[in-house]
Structure 1
Amino acid sequence: MSKQFQASQPIYLQIVDRICRQIVRNELLPSEKLPSVREMALQCGVNPNTIQRTYSELERMGIVETKRGQGTFVCENGNAVQELKLKLQSEIITNFVKDMKEMGLSEAEMLLGVKRHLKKIAEESHD
């Protein structure tokens, strides 16, 4: 999980985002135990306090739960994962539309571009 961090956003939020994306992609499954705070800090190359803050934020979001003496686990709540997926989808689409508008593209041009891209991906996967 050791990747470069962006200066534009707090590190703990970047790690929250990475973990959320792993959950959405089913790389982390419901009831799966996350690494200990110290272990995750070593993996990410950050201070354990940063990971503690990360886990606290994930718990506040209802994505993970901490069981005293056992560790931190991905919640089994399917609704929370679905809501997370929709939230991430909305953020990605919002950024995409903003970038395309800044390039001067119309809604029709954006849709055409997306359709062309999806068609290209479909053709490549059949090769």
Structure 2
Amino acid sequence: MEFKETQAIYVQIADYICEQILLHKWQPDERIPSVRELAVSLEVNPNTVMRTCELLQQQEIIFNKRGIGYFISPDAVKKIRQFKKEAFISTELPSFFRSLYLLDLGLDELKPHYEKFKKSNFN
């Protein structure tokens, strides 16, 4: 995983875990890789992964079964989408709308591009 300098690593790892859940690679009630396994595979300090797990646990996306590991909450997909929608609307959408306005692009012009993107990336 390539980390950006603009965001804390533990937050980027949380985004990675959330993406795995949204892509249905990791299912609700399924155990996620251990802190050590994630640290090795992502080439980060286990303390960084632990901080990620604490963040996701506070957001009720994962939960801990003592002595067994972390598991994905049954309603994790719903919670992730809620958090990500709020973040997208408040941070990215204003810039996106500004670009649409400056380029005189309508949403109807974007739909074919969005459909093509979905088809080529998620089918």
TM-score by length of 1: 0.78
User: 3-state SS of the aligned residue for 1:65?
Assistant: strand
Structure 2 gap segments, 5+ residues each = none
Change (3 A) 1:61 1:74: same
Tell me which residue corresponds to 2:95.
Answer: 98
Instruction: Provide Cα deviations, 1:48-95, integer angstroms capped at 9, x if missing partner.
Output: 00000011111001000011111110011x2x4213224324544652
CA distance in 2, matches of 1:113, 1:90: 25
CA distance in 1, matches of 2:118, 2:19: 24
Structure of higher CA gyration radius: 1
Please list every run of at least 4 consecutive aligned residues from structure 1 whose deviation after the TM superposition is greater than 4 angstroms.
Answer: 119-124
Q: 1:114 aligns with which of 101, 110, 114?
A: 110
Q: After alignment, is 30-39 or 44-53 more displaced?
A: 30-39
* Seq. identity, %: 36
Maintained 8 Å contact 2:61/2:79: no
Change (3 A) 1:113 1:60: same
CA RMSD after TM alignment: 2.5
Aligned residues: 118
Tell me which residue corresponds to 1:57.
Answer: 55
Instruction: Provide Cα deviations, 1:16-49, integer angstroms capped at 9, x if missing partner.
Output: 0111111112111011111111111000000000
Tell me which residue corresponds to 1:39.
Answer: 37
User: 3-state SS of the aligned residue for 1:51?
Assistant: helix
